Structure 1
Amino acid sequence: MYAFEFEKPKSVADAVTALKEEDAQALGGGQTLIPSLKARLAMPSKLVSLSGIEEMKGVSSEGGVVTIGGGTTHEVVAEQAAEAYPGLASLASRIGDPAVRSRGTIGGSLANNDPSACYPAAALGSGATIVTDSREIAADDFFAGLFETVLEEGEIITSVKFPVPEKARYEKFAQPASRFPLVAVFVAKFSDGVRVAVTGASENGVFRWSEAESALSSDFSVGALDGLSASADQMIADLHGTPAYRAHLIGVLTKRAVASLS
């Protein structure tokens, strides 16, 4: 570790002001940033902790939309969203381990956009809206590639709005050591169609499997996926699996999700 300044504002406005300082960086739950600091992969001169901003915490439900504060931990989402959006709560309950779930936040996860993170699949699969201190961004427009989003420098995710589908399921094939998904699929059925989001598989991060969406929107059944296969192009290749293996898992997990919802 190395020396840096630390500030813990109590409001979004104060946090935005603090982040305008040169080389300042926001700190959510710290589950990604703190290890990066220890390894000196990130070296900001100032950390601005968002953990003291109460207006960015909590889960509420109204008019078929679940709104989650950007500073809400995975543990709280798993508990408080269970009734209104069980598919999302189930996803949150399986992120990492208890220590990670008690500290990690939804805003931090989405802002970091790790290619194997769980929440990006929920946001994209649900057609969520990411609310920041200055604007609202549709999930379809938010993710910009590997560890990249359209967030501007110093912009803070204050909340995320999730339209609640008729039914939804997150199927995750976890890497045992990290508990990140080797591949995971979020399937959400709405009255006007189906959304299928995939995480853990692509070099470009989370994406929608449009062929499966079209097939399932016409016939929400496992059989509708017969003959469909995800392309292995630009899939991740590492010691845990080949691109072809990950592409195969996408189909397997999508079928499992649909089967559990049928």
Structure 2
Amino acid sequence: MSLRLFDLSGKRALITGSSQGIGLALAHGLQAAGAHIVLNGRDAGKLSAAAAQFETPVDHLAFDATDHQAARVAVDRFEADVGPIDILVNNAGMQYRTPLEEFPADAFERLLRTNVSSVFNVGQAVARHMIARGAGKIINIASVQTALARPGIAPYTATKGAVGNLTKGMATDWAKYGLQCNAIAPGYFDTPLNAALVADETFSTWLEKRTPAGRWGKVEELVGACIFLASGASSFVNGHILYVDGGITASL
């Protein structure tokens, strides 16, 4: 009986930025829990290649999550033509590393659009349909940088802090309509976004000492948290930021 709480059979999940990395891993994990998957990204070719990796057919919806109108049009059309989106994972994101005093203004604006505006754009577009149905799950991908900072990524830290607070705002506004809006905050995971850091022996040695678990995270280790927040098991969890970080935020 208790395991049924985590069953996503009959649910449809849209994951933004899911042609690789964390988004693709979460798509595989949610499918294994029974959900029908809708992949998203700007590059239709990359989406098709990602879709081909699944044994069971998935949908793929190409649109730019940083474009408010494009996101709304794509979501509205999908809902009308295919069916309801029951679960949204706002995963699209980017990183840019350089000292704050040298940080390019255009890079800062790109970070804001990709990491924050996309969450608002797709979240609002999907929530309007969820509100009408009286149910829905929104999971935003935050970061260990929602709570902590490191040199060279101050604007990224600002964007992920914003994702954390936008998640709380979504829950505050939309819980009364039957939506659960939460965030997963990954620590340091071996992903394409972190490829340069993974290859940096000095950084990896520092990270292993700094993290109580003593290692980089594996993207598959985010799946359990996502299934929990996407399922009936989290029916009274709202506005929560779930850190999956090997203990790094718990330790000095």
Fold shared per TM-score above 0.5 = no
- Which structure is higher in helix share? 2
* TM value normalised by structure 2: 0.30
Which structure has more RCO (C-alpha within 8 Å, separation ≥ 6)? 2
- State TM-score, norm by structure 1: 0.29
